[in-house]
Amino acid sequence: MLRSLLAFEIKLHTRQIGFWIAFIVMLAAGVLFSSLDVFTAGGERVKVNGAIPIAQLMSNFSLFSIFFAAVFVVTGVMRDDTHKAVEIIHATPVKTSEMVLARMLGVWFATVLSLGGLAVGTMLGPFMPWIDSEAFQSFNGLHYLQPFFLFILINALFVSGIYTAIATTTRNRTLVYVSAVGLLVLYLIGGVVAGEDPSEWVAALADPFGAYALSVQTQY
């Protein structure tokens, strides 16, 4: 039953025009940022498609999961309230726990797939006709897989779980959007803490999405 519910949730999300807009925007961003050396950190000896630039790109863009997941939760998890069908859904043999889990995983998959456009675009960037071949190294799949898992998969699961819990307990879409703003503020607070030059581990822990922790670990 859970597998069928999850398949339905994924199909529901991937049929929305908003999903495809998000995917295309992320795809374009991945292509542009990975084909131009303007985002390369560390000087001319750091390749554009090296491990650190790709990880930094994915860690920064994983913040979009805050907004994508919020929209998918409102249109997916809370659709029964929108269509006034809560009583009908709960009158079916489907277990509430399975339904909520399937909807949360559906939001997670939709968010990951949307941000997956960034990963695809990042891999396509080095093949663009306008690139400077000297700024790139040979393709290494691990440079893409590791940050995709650490920053996109995990961060998307983090925010999807929070939003789903808020949506199912309050049934209030406004609180879902407010929580999205709250997560963004929390991230910005982490940046402020980092700017005050505290101990590096304190600043890293203040960032719930891991971007500053990556910066600390790769600064040299």
Query: Does residue 27 register a pLDDT over 90?
Result: yes
Query: Does residue 81 register a pLDDT over 80?
Result: no
CB 53 within 8 A of CB 36: no
Q: Which tens digit of pLDDT belongs to each residue from 148-191? A: 999 999 999 999 999 999 988 888 888 999 999 988 887 777 66
Query: Does residue 85 register a pLDDT over 70?
Result: no
CB 98 within 8 A of CB 6: no
Closest CA to 65 of 184, 178, 207, 167: 184
